[in-house]
Copies of this chain bind each other. A is one copy, B any other.
Amino acid sequence: MNRVLVVDDEPQIVRALVINLKARKYEVDAAADGATALRLAAARHPDVIVLDLGLPDMDGVEVIKGLRGWTRVPILVLSARQTSDEKVEALDAGADDYVTKPFGMDELLARLRAAVRRAEPAGQPDDSVVVETDAFTVDLAAKKAHRDGRDVRLTPTEWHLLEVLVRNAGRLVSQKQLLQEVWGPSYGTESNYLRVYMAQLRRKLEADPSHPRHFVTEPGMGYRFER
């Protein structure tokens, strides 16, 4: 099931979109301004964002840039402005598509499907989403972690952190990058969050949490997941 973030300050537009999307089995979050949009994008990690450019608190293009600083999630811009310049600016800022109001719901949904479809990973053989270590296994797609034959329960934040680390297996991930990918673009220095949650992951997944072998600290730089 795909998650959509709808950003628009006109309630009736939001309502129409939410109804249509939910009817098609999307999970929907909604935001009425740019700040909320950025926060929700970070917190909920939608598969696609529908973004109205005319927001009360900030320029829509700034929202696009704010998102593009840390994510490649498809952004479908919705706007009443029809001029070519607006479109070019939004697209070059990182938007994936641009639909002018009034729009046909069928077309919007088709463009949404197209955006989601091409964002899906190219089905490459043998890049399994299941990662195994000698102590535990993680299935990113199924959102399941296993250890000693038992399921391990992880909170959303723990999952998110784990996911970023596992996707970069073997590579160092800087503290700043972790913070921005998990907590959102406005974070970057709150390294105490990382310490708390790395401890959680280690406690839940490492065989010997006080001597981690898979979640390695690189002092002063970041963390690394080693298979």
Which A residues lie at the B interface, using CB under 8 A?
72, 74, 84-85, 87-88, 91-92, 94-98, 104, 106-107, 109-111, 113-114, 117-119, 122-123, 125, 141-144, 153, 155-156, 159, 167-168, 170-172, 218-222, 224
Contact = CB atoms under 8 A, between A and B. Distances in A.
A110 B87 contact: yes
Contacts of A144: 170-172
A155 to B, nearest CB: 7
Contacts of A87: 104, 106-107, 110-111
Contacts of A220: 155-156
A84 B72 contact: no
A106 B118 contact: no
B170 A72 contact: no
Contacts of A114: 91-92, 95-97
Nearest to A143: B172
Copies per complex of this chain:
2
Given A88-B110, A168-B125, A221 B72 contact: no
Contacts of A221: 143, 156, 159
Which 10 pairs, one residue from A and one from B, show the smallest C-beta to C-beta distance? A143-B172, A156-B220, A142-B171, A91-B110, A88-B110, A84-B104, A91-B114, A84-B106, A87-B107, A84-B107
A181 to B, nearest CB: 11
Contacts of A155: 219-220
14 contacts: A72-B118, A72-B122, A85-B106, A88-B107, A88-B109, A91-B107, A92-B110, A94-B117, A125-B167, A143-B171, A155-B220, A156-B219, A156-B220, A159-B221
A191 B107 CA distance: 43
Contacts of A167: 125
A62 to B, nearest CB: 18
Contacts of A153: 218
Nearest to A117: B94
